[in-house]
Amino acid sequence: MLKNYFKIAIAVLRRRKFFTFISLFGISFTLTILLVLTAFIEKVVGDNYPDRKRDRSLYIVRLEEKGKDDMSSGGPSYYFLDHYTKNLKTPVNIAISSGSSGTNTYVNNKKISVHYKYTNAAYWDVLEYDFIEGKVAEGLQIAFRMPAGGAAVMCGEC
C-alpha cells in the first residue's frame, strides 16, 4: 500500500514539473529560514554552557581613538584591561582573555593541533567551565606580561 502511494506521488510530480518545483522550493526555503532563525534566537537569548551569565556580561573587543585628523583602532591590550577596568565600581568580576591561537605539537611522533588562549584567574569563575581533566592553575603559578608585539605571554616563574 505504501509502495502505491509513492508511485502515485511520483506520477503527479512528473506531470506538473513547474508546480512541483515551486512547491518543493517554497517548502525547503521556509524550513531553512525557520531553522536559521531558531538557531539565531537560541544563540542570542539562550544561556548555554559555558556562557551562562551572558545577560550580566559586557565584552570589550575593540578600542578606538579619534583625533582631529586621524583615527586609530584595535583590540584592547592586557595592560589596558587590567589597569583601567579593575577600577570600575560596577563589575562583580572581570575576566580577561586573549584571542584564540593555534599551533602544532608532536607527542609520540603524532601531530596534534592545539588551540590555546591566555586568560586571567577570574576568567574561570566568570565562565563556568566543567573540567573533564586537569584544573585551573593557581594565581601564583601564572604571571602575565605584555611584550612589544601586543600578545600576552604566559610564563611559569616570572
Establish how many alpha carbons lie within 13 A of residue 131's alpha carbon, considering only the half-sphere containing its beta carbon.
Answer: 7
Query: In this predicted model, what pLDDT tens digit does every residue of 14-25 receive, in sequence order?
Result: 888 888 889 889
The structure's pTM equals 0.51
Query: In this predicted model, what pLDDT tens digit does every residue of 49-96 receive, in sequence order?
Result: 677 777 778 888 888 989 889 999 888 888 888 888 888 888 888 888
Bond preceding residue 91 cis, omega within 30 of 0: no
Query: In this predicted model, what pLDDT tens digit does every residue of 129-139 receive, in sequence order?
Result: 777 777 776 65
Identify the CA nearest to 97 among candidates 123, 75, 76. 123
Q: Helix, strand, or coil here: 65?
A: strand
Query: In this predicted model, what pLDDT tens digit does every residue of 89-123 receive, in sequence order?
Result: 888 888 888 878 888 989 899 998 888 888 887 88
What DSSP element (H or E) covers 12?
helix 2-15
What pairs with residue 113 in β-bridges?
104
Which pLDDT value is given to residue 28? Answer: 95
Residue ranges of alpha helices (H) inside 16-73 are 17-45
> In angstroms, rounded to a whole number, what is the distance separating the alpha carbons of residues 106 and 27?
49
